[in-house]
Amino acid sequence: MKILEERILREGKVLPGNVLKVGSFINHMIDPTLTDKMGEAFFERFKNEGVTKILTVEASGIAIAYAAARYFGCPMVFAKKTQTSNVNSNVYSAPVKSFTHGKTYNVMVSTDYITHEDTVLCVDDFLAVGNALIGLFSIVEQAGAKLAGAGIAIEKGFQGGGDKLRDKGYRIESLAIIDSMEDCKIVFRH
Q: Is 100 in the site for ligand 5GP (CB under 6 A)?
A: yes
Residue list 28-57, contact with ligand 5GP (CB under 6 A): 57
Q: Is 12 in the site for ligand 5GP (CB under 6 A)?
A: no
CB 8 within 8 A of CB 125: no
CB of 74 to ligand 5GP, least distance (A): 21
CA angle 155, 156, 157 (to 5 degrees): 95
155: left (phi over 0), alpha (psi -120 to 50) or beta: beta
Amino acid residing at 46: F
Selected range binding ligand 5GP among 19-27, 67-75, 86-94, 112-120, rule: CB under 6 A: 19-27
Selected range binding ligand 5GP among 65-73, 104-112, 123-131, 143-151, rule: CB under 6 A: 123-131
- How far is it, in rounded angstroms, from Cα 143 to Cα 152? 22
User: Can you give the binding site for ligand 5GP, defined by CB under 6 A?
Assistant: 19-20, 27, 57, 60, 99-100, 124-132, 156, 161
